[in-house]
Structure 1
Amino acid sequence: MRYADGTLARLGDKILVWEGNEGVVVCSIDTDEYSEDYPREAFGYLQRGIMVLSEKAGLIHYLQPETDMRLIERKTVRPGS
């Protein structure tokens, strides 16, 4: 999935889900990236999209971005971690 600006959603992204609600991408099915707490075995069946753990709405599966959804900060992943 891509945000409204065209940026590809990735695991660990801190995002504005909608005004007043931030969240973190806990798995990106599209890029085959899963966090330890949200593994492929539990969420791979969804086949596409991202899972976001949001402050106000909990865990949400998105196939398309919300209109106001945007990347706030990209998690830096170190090689080998």
Structure 2
Amino acid sequence: MRYSNGKKVELGDKVDLGDGDTAIIVGIIDENLYSEEYPKSDWEYLKSGLLMLTRDSTLLHYPKIEDEIKLISRKSQVN
């Protein structure tokens, strides 16, 4: 799965959802990648898309990546 700029979506990415909202990628269902806190066994029924945890701890599922989702930073870049 890739952002609109062509960069690959990775677990732990911090993303801009638009309107000042941000989230962390906690699951990439298409690639069977899940964080420890959100295991495959709980979410694989969704079949495709992304799981994202917002600043206010809301868990979102996007069936496909939307153009407005922009990469802010990689997990490895966060202090």
TM range (shorter): 0.7 to 0.9
The one-letter code of the counterpart of 2:11 is L
Separation in 2, partners of 1:52, 1:35 = 11
CA contact (8 A) 2:15 2:70 kept: yes
Residue of structure 2 equivalent to 1:41: 41
Number of aligned positions between the proteins: 76
- Deviant stretches of 4+, over 3 Å: none
CA contact (8 A) 2:11 2:28 kept: yes
Pick which of 52-61 and 19-28 moved more: 52-61
CA-atom RMSD, angstroms?
A: 1.7
SS at match of 2:43: helix
Gaps of 5+ in 2: none
Deviations 1:22-58 (A, max 9, x none): 0000111122111111000000111111100112581
Normalized per residue, which structure has more helix? Answer: 2
TM-score by length of 2: 0.82
- Indicate the percent of aligned positions where both proteins have the same amino acid: 38
